[in-house]
Amino acid sequence: DTAVSQTPKYLVTQMGNDKSIKCEQNLGHDTMYWYKQDSKKFLKIMFSYNNKELIINETVPNRFSPKSPDKAHLNLHINSLELGDSAVYFCASSQSNSGSRRYEQYFGPGTRLTVT
Amino acid sequence: AQKVTQAQTEISVVEKEDVTLDCVYETRDTTYYLFWYKQPPSGELVFLIRRNSFDEQNEISGRYSWNFQKSTSSFNFTITASQVVDSAVYFCALSEAVAGGNKLTFGTGTQLKVEL
């Protein structure tokens, strides 16, 4: 019954490795997001997909590649990991906008990535 | 560009005190939405409230209340009779609509510590 789930919860890896984080939501939402939370707790959006189409692509190194196989899943693949990628990555989902109406985002539990 | 300022980095109160968390925002949009999220020590992000720019009525939910003032671009959050379980980082966020979704701009958060 978890609304937005992410795996893994913790990820410890070495510099230069490639890793993926998976996200799934069972809320029936059309839009999913990835956010990065740094060590100072600052939250910044990275990507968003609506119905499997990329709608937000912030200034993120191209080592980060999101993939949405269907509306309920959004994965994040990171190549050639660097020390600065260490952070907590949150997945979120929301309903699509309806006219001028906008909806809250529901967040997953986060994945703490540590690059050594 | 959208901006959210939470000038209070950390607030400490004693249980049962009332506390107000400030949020000031900047946007050029005429229609916008504001949100508050709670991040307890366990790390998840919990949605608290959504408010649109057309509705300036204050809202109360139990011990929580929100004061939205368009004239001063503020959306402040008050906890009445604080409890230890209220200890968390609280984030204010402003949405910018994109096709199908919302791009949330978060403030830097206010760490609230409620002590016995």
For residue A85, pLDDT over 70 is answered with: yes
CB pairs under 8 A between A and B: 76
The mean pLDDT values, 10 residues at a time, for chain B of 116 residues are 95 98 94 95 95 87 94 96 97 88 94 97
User: Mind giving me the DSSP string for A13-77?
Assistant: E-TT--EEEEEEE-S--SEEEEEEE-TT--EEEEEEEETTEEEEE-S--TTEEEEEEETTEEEEE
**Residue B16 Rama label (left phi>0; alpha psi -120 to 50; beta):** left
Contact B100 A94 (CB under 8 A): no
Question: What's A101's DSSP letter?
Answer: B
**Residue B110 Rama label (left phi>0; alpha psi -120 to 50; beta):** beta
β-bridge partners, B85: none
Nearest CA distance, B34 vs chain A (angstrom): 9
- A 10 A CB-CB count for B18 gives 12
Give pLDDT, residue A64: 96
Average pLDDT, rounded, for chain A: 94
Residue range A49-53: average pLDDT?
A: 90
Give pLDDT, residue A1: 67
β-bridge partners, A107: A92
Residue range A20-30: average pLDDT?
A: 96
Contacts of B89 in chain A (CB under 8 A): 41
Q: How far apart are CA B73 and CA A59, in angstroms?
A: 28
Residue A8's identity, in one-letter code, is P
Q: How far apart are CA A101 and CA B97, in angstroms?
A: 9
Residue range A70-81: average pLDDT?
A: 96
Nearest CA distance, B104 vs chain A (angstrom): 7
Distance of CA A102 to the CA centre of its chain: 20
